[in-house]
Amino acid sequence: MQRKIRNMEEFAAISGISRPTVSKYFNDPESVRVSTRKKIEAALEEYDYHPNVFAMNQNRRTTKNIGVVVPNLADPFFSEIGRRVELACIKAGYSPILLSSHGNPDMERDNLNSLKSLKPAGVLLAPFGRLSDKDAVKAFDADIPVVLFDANMHDVGRAFVGTDHFQSVDLMVEYLCRSGEPPCFFEMKNPLNPNANKHRQAYIESMERHGQTPNIYQVSGNGWDFEEIGKAEGDRLLSEGAFKTNTILCSNDRFAIGLLSAAYGLGFNVGHGPECNLRIAGHDDHPFSRFTCPPLTTIAQDYEAIANRSVSTLFALFEKRESPPERQETLFEGRLIMRESA
Amino acid sequence: MQRKIRNMEEFAAISGISRPTVSKYFNDPESVRVSTRKKIEAALEEYDYHPNVFAMNQNRRTTKNIGVVVPNLADPFFSEIGRRVELACIKAGYSPILLSSHGNPDMERDNLNSLKSLKPAGVLLAPFGRLSDKDAVKAFDADIPVVLFDANMHDVGRAFVGTDHFQSVDLMVEYLCRSGEPPCFFEMKNPLNPNANKHRQAYIESMERHGQTPNIYQVSGNGWDFEEIGKAEGDRLLSEGAFKTNTILCSNDRFAIGLLSAAYGLGFNVGHGPECNLRIAGHDDHPFSRFTCPPLTTIAQDYEAIANRSVSTLFALFEKRESPPERQETLFEGRLIMRESA
DNA sequence: ACCTTAACTTTACGCGCGTAAATTTATAAT
DNA sequence: ATTATAAATTTACGCGCGTAAAGTTAAGGT
């Protein structure tokens, strides 16, 4: 590090290349001749120069920024998948900007708005689903390509990548039926998380396919405190003996964690052993589900595949010149994680 | 929304104000006359205009951006405190940029570097502690004011805001001693999380103050999978009967969650009731600690206070003209959360 | 009415870079 | 060696805004 470089002009002079060529290099190092690239990179090693991002992006129609918006980073599910998306973007040479809507659909719109001024090359959005502002997202997508992940919205965004919840829930229902009794379904009346309705519907269809009668328990409660609601309402239903079956499929793992906690407090013996009197299963393979008591039987979504495919799908949209084909939906299969709770 | 405004020039013409004054308004709405402000805001209601952020920030020495860097967003502790910091910044009219170092101290340096080019008004950093690149942070702080939170680093940053771990651990040790037997301490040999060493030291001092002999069990394991390590190693130690006492204080809640899971698997009866044979306590009031089986006795850090004070401390540094006084450290007290596990 | 002062307008320049067009140079193939 | 082509250079302009300086207007007090 000799002396500080003030701007690209100065850096170009030092490296013996013209400024426009240096500019080209920073936009895409592959776009300049090898000998030129070598010269520039040699100069970069010697001097500490970084192009001014603001000046860089001012005249560009689009930047190397990628917006990533998730409903709620406080939910480990989203922090996990957000993390993987972030890393995939970095690996591809882009700058991810991870925004959480903090559980508030209105903030999703705000986030898209503030992203717009950052002229991102594209946006990866895990929407709230039916709670999202569909028109706002569509309008946004008209300017900047949006790929949805985790939760689908009909006809919104250029593509969707997620889990096949009908397959995954069926996997679980099939397993529970085969290894014991058909499950009832435990969920919130007005669930905030995006795929809750899909889970219920998949449960109903799957039960009917197995010749069983669906049996759904919906409890009230607001907000994102799924564990709290699952525990409080689970405690109530369990102590009332309200569940008609001893096998309970929860809408998601966080809800199941609450129910497990309630069951423990009431002295139930949860598991699939002969001495057990309650089976509890969840969905999502929450990071903590392997440490619940007993460890939770659940469905693992393929986070890594979803993250990578979302990113590659988005990048294909603006890296290739190809005219975008019709909106495609990619579904990965869920994996049954058999643990001790069911 | 009549027609699209191209730039500030056009918007100024429409609102009947000169461009420099409009510019002044966007930098600080309070800095222009009330009548002028009214005119501008009336025009804003009618037309859809947002200043180009890149052009805005290009010539500014500093922006309204606030960098927020945490070690690992996948850890609910940091996603929770990160969330509160974010909201506090937004409330104050700034744009927080939340970055996770994904558990990797090298990425902390990368994050600071990429923040530098965004010319933030200040940075809130929850460092790795001794694993952080001290020199890099100090160098950064020379340009841009840094306030540390959660984990302190001696003589780094303009201020520090966190929890008084000596007070909080003492609270726990005192409670455990008073209500049963003195605890042993369970932790990782080479812990990654910032305050682990502080917890151990506080445990030792507190035990000695109570006239007890400290008793520490350190297990090996790498990375951030605290639950996994706590479970595997806890399982080993518990089944070997290695713990000399039946009261175990864990270095943090995630570790305790793993140990609880191991204890459950081995058939221990965890709690403080007469029929119990093991007491387990943690530290941090992890979001899931109230749903463990049994619910975890722990120490609650005052997330809200730490987040708010960090933000207000940082803002005082660049909003007030006052010469910064000497580096100040603010410690909030931990609160004992008595649940059933100990 | 005058004065003071803060707020505003006008004018003008510069920031650091993108980018287009025309020209020159280097590379690789014939 | 000649030629076609790709890459680099030179020149030139513009983006949208910050900001300084000098002059003008408005507000509030005496």
Query: Please, which pLDDT band fits residue B107 given cuts at 50, 70 and 90?
Result: very high
Q: B169-190 pLDDT, tens per residue?
A: 999 999 999 998 999 999 999 8
Strand partners, A275: none
Residue B169 lies in a domain: yes
Q: Stretch A62-88: mean pLDDT, rounded?
A: 92
Q: A289-335 pLDDT, tens per residue?
A: 999 999 999 999 999 999 999 999 999 887 765 556 788 999 999 99
Give the 3-state secondary structure of residue B52.
coil
Task: Name residues 275-294 of chain B within 8 A of A (Cβ).
Answer: 287-288, 290-294
Residue A59 lies in a domain: no
Is B294 in the same domain as B311?
no
Q: Stretch B97-125: mean pLDDT, rounded?
A: 92
Is A232 in the same domain as A243?
yes
Give the 3-state secondary structure of residue A122.
strand
Per-residue pLDDT at B2: 60
- pTM across the whole model: 0.89
Contacts across the A-B interface (CB distance below 8 Å): 105
Per-residue pLDDT at A322: 59
**Nucleotide closest to residue A18 (CA–C1'):** D9
Query: Please, which pLDDT band fits residue A274 given cuts at 50, 70 and 90?
Result: confident
Residue A342 lies in a domain: no
Q: Stretch A46-63: mean pLDDT, rounded?
A: 87
Asked if B292's CB is within 8 angstroms of A261's CB, the reply is yes
Separation of alpha carbons A299 and A309, rounded Å: 20
Q: B192-204 pLDDT, tens per residue?
A: 878 999 999 999 9
Separation of alpha carbons B313 and B330, rounded Å: 10
Residue B269 lies in a domain: yes
Is A247 in the same domain as A176?
yes
Separation of alpha carbons A292 and A16, rounded Å: 62
- Picking from A64, A291, A340 by the largest number of B CB atoms within 10 A of its own CB, the best residue to mutate is A291
Could you list the residue range(s) of the whole structural domain that residue A84 is in? 65-162+303-332
Residue B72 lies in a domain: yes
Does position B320 have pLDDT exceeding 80, yes or no?
A: no
Query: Please, which pLDDT band fits residue B298 given cuts at 50, 70 and 90?
Result: very high
Does position B319 have pLDDT exceeding 80, yes or no?
A: no
Listed in sequence order, the residues at least 6 apart from B254 whose beta carbon sits closer than 8 Å to its beta carbon are B75, B226, B227, B230, B284, B286
Is B316 in the same domain as B284?
no
Q: What is the mean pLDDT of chain B?
A: 91
DSSP string over B88-141: HHHHTT-EEEEEE-TT-HHHHHHHHHHHHTT--SEEEE---GGGS-HHHHHHHH
Whether any strand C atom is under 7 angstroms from the Cβ of A38: the reply reads no
Asked if B117's CB is within 8 angstroms of A100's CB, the reply is no
Is A273 in the same domain as A216?
yes
Does position A134 have pLDDT exceeding 70, yes or no?
A: yes
CA of A25 to C1' of D7 (A): 12
Minimal-distance CA residue of chain A relative to B258: A291
Residue B56 lies in a domain: no
Is A310 in the same domain as A293?
no
Distance from CA of A166 to the nearest CA of B (A): 28
Residue B272 lies in a domain: yes
Q: A84-133 pLDDT, tens per residue?
A: 999 999 888 889 999 999 999 999 999 999 898 898 999 999 999 889 99
Whether any strand C atom is under 7 angstroms from the Cβ of B59: the reply reads yes
DSSP string over B156-193: -SSEEEEE-HHHHHHHHHHHHHHHSSPPEEEEESS--S
Which among A152, A154, A210, A208 is positioned nearest to A179, based on CA atoms?
A210
Residue B171 lies in a domain: yes
DSSP code, position A63 = -
Q: Stretch A127-150: mean pLDDT, rounded?
A: 92
Q: A185-244 pLDDT, tens per residue?
A: 999 998 887 899 999 999 999 999 999 999 999 999 888 899 999 999 999 999 999 999
Bases of chain C within 7 A of a CB of the protein: 7-12, 14-21, 26-27
CA of B71 to C1' of C5 (A): 51
Query: Please, which pLDDT band fits residue A286 given cuts at 50, 70 and 90?
Result: very high
Is B287 in the same domain as B322?
no
Please count the structural domains in chain B.
Answer: 3
Does position B120 have pLDDT exceeding 80, yes or no?
A: yes
Distance from CA of B80 to the nearest CA of A (A): 6
**Nucleotide closest to residue A62 (CA–C1'):** C18
Is A176 in the same domain as A286?
yes
**Nucleotide closest to residue B24 (CA–C1'):** D18
CA atoms B193, B194, B197, B201: torsion sign: negative
CA of A21 to C1' of C30 (A): 30
Asked if B288's CB is within 8 angstroms of A227's CB, the reply is yes
Q: What is the mean pLDDT of chain A?
A: 91
Whether any strand C atom is under 7 angstroms from the Cβ of B32: the reply reads yes
Does position B321 have pLDDT exceeding 60, yes or no?
A: no
DSSP code, position A332 = E
Does position B46 have pLDDT exceeding 90, yes or no?
A: no
Amino acid at B30: E
| Domain CATH number, residue B224 | 3.40.50.2300
Is A179 in the same domain as A290?
yes
Distance from CA of B183 to the nearest CA of A (A): 23
Is B19 in the same domain as B76?
no
Whether any strand D atom is under 7 angstroms from the Cβ of B35: the reply reads yes
Distance from CA of A1 to the nearest CA of B (A): 15
Q: Stretch B214-239: mean pLDDT, rounded?
A: 93
Is A141 in the same domain as A188?
no
**CB-side exposure of B53: number of CA atoms within 13 Å?**
17
**Taking a C-beta distance cutoff of 8 angstroms, is the pair B78, B100 a contact?**
yes
Q: Stretch B205-209: mean pLDDT, rounded?
A: 94
* Lowest-confidence segment of A45-49, A246-250, A278-282 by average pLDDT: A45-49
DSSP string over B177-244: HHHSSPPEEEEESS--STTHHHHHHHHHHHHHHTT----EEEE---SS-HHHHHHHHHHHHHHHT--S
Is B174 in the same domain as B285?
yes
Does position A83 have pLDDT exceeding 90, yes or no?
A: yes
| Domain CATH number, residue B45 | 1.10.260
